[in-house]
Amino acid sequence: MSLRKVHLLLSVLIIGGLSAQELTFVTINVWSGLDYKGIVRMGEYESRQVRQARYQLLVEELQALKPDVIAVNEANPLPGYVRRLATDLDYDYIYNVGMSGMKIGCLGIPANFKEGDAILARKSLSLDKVGAKRLSSGAGYIGNLCSLHFAESNQAIAGRIRVNGQSVFIVNTHLHAGLPDDQRWRREMDMIHQSGSMTDEEYQYVVEWWRGGIDRRQNEVQALLAWMRAVIPQEAPVILMGDFNAGPQSEEIAWLQVEDFVDTWSQSHEPDDAGITWGPKENANIQTYYDVPDPYDASVSIYEKLKALNRQVARRIDYILVKNVPREHIMTGEVVLDHAPGGQHPSDHFGVLTKINFNPE
């Protein structure tokens, strides 16, 4: 073959490669393994050896899936966790600390707590950080280098990759994990109240706590939408991923859809296909580490009882949503990281995978 023909063939291949590129996205809450109780050090559900085995399983599963972009929640401790994961996968990464107590660098209390969210991407995609947004938090300061903060905080982090010369924005978020806006929880409260396990005053306080959690998560979604409008160009493709702690029929997800975000799972599955990502009957970590207290045990607070009962409800709370991507370019949506080799899952969540064909027209 002549040199001219070789050049022509290479040109055709390069042009063809630029005209269409299918990328695979995965989101997974990797589970810190903490019980979020303690001052000097938080309690840990697992031994160090079990946590290490779980991490290795995560790496092996991700290597098999070969995603181009990965969003992780509950990465702990930062930056060590995401740096190690990126090294093991040979990816670039960005991260932002979400909660860490009182810290200067890695020193401070709780000693084993510096948690947050991260985005990883293949090095060919030229990932860079656009910014991060605190969606809700208590008083204090949280930063990657230092923090003084002791209340729950929720956030979003945004990055940008390059696909066929075009900027594609990646947003990863983790929203408040309070009880959902579901009347089953009002009925549970009513039953406990009627049993005599709490006073009228306690009952009213618990109902307000439940409604307050819903309001918090909904306000976080509104803050997320406002922030994305401010930092992402209007017509740019956006991949929004993470642990939303809200069901597909919730107002939180409906508001995202009003803003033209498409749920990639629903796009590629029938309405009766639940796509469970929190599966208490299937997930070995939920079964092993999360107890179900007696609803009438006076030694356990009503808050802990309701949270424990909520952990036993199967649902879809992890999503990959896209905006400014043609629906026909959404190739597939799958639940992943749901296998348990040796009886162990890589997280207490299952992951979500979506393939998208980027084909500029």
The verdict on residue 138 lying in a domain is yes
The verdict on residue 168 lying in a domain is yes
pLDDT score for 361: 54
DSSP classification of residue 315 = B
* Structural domain harbouring 97: 22-358
Residues 6 or more apart whose CB falls under 8 angstroms from that of 260 comprise 323, 324
**Total domains, the chain:** 1
Q: Closest Cα partner for 255 from 218, 212, 291?
A: 218
Residue ranges for the chain with pLDDT beneath 70: 1-20, 295-296, 360-361
The verdict on residue 12 lying in a domain is no
pLDDT score for 20: 61
Tens of pLDDT, residues 107-154:
999 999 999 999 999 999 999 999 999 999 888 999 999 999 989 999
Residue given tokens 């490669």 in the structure block: 17
- Token pair recorded at residue 64: 């098999």
Relative to beta strand 21-29, strand 69-75 is parallel
The verdict on residue 79 lying in a domain is yes
Nearest-Å Rg of the Cα atoms of the chain is: 22
Q: Please state, in angstroms and as integers, the Cα–Cα distance from residue 106 to each residue in 11, 33, 41, following that order.
A: 50, 18, 13
State pTM to two decimals.
0.92
On average, the pLDDT of the chain sits at 92
The verdict on residue 15 lying in a domain is no
The whole-angstrom separation of Cα 293 and Cα 23 is 44
The verdict on residue 3 lying in a domain is no
CATH of the domain at 151: 3.60.10.10
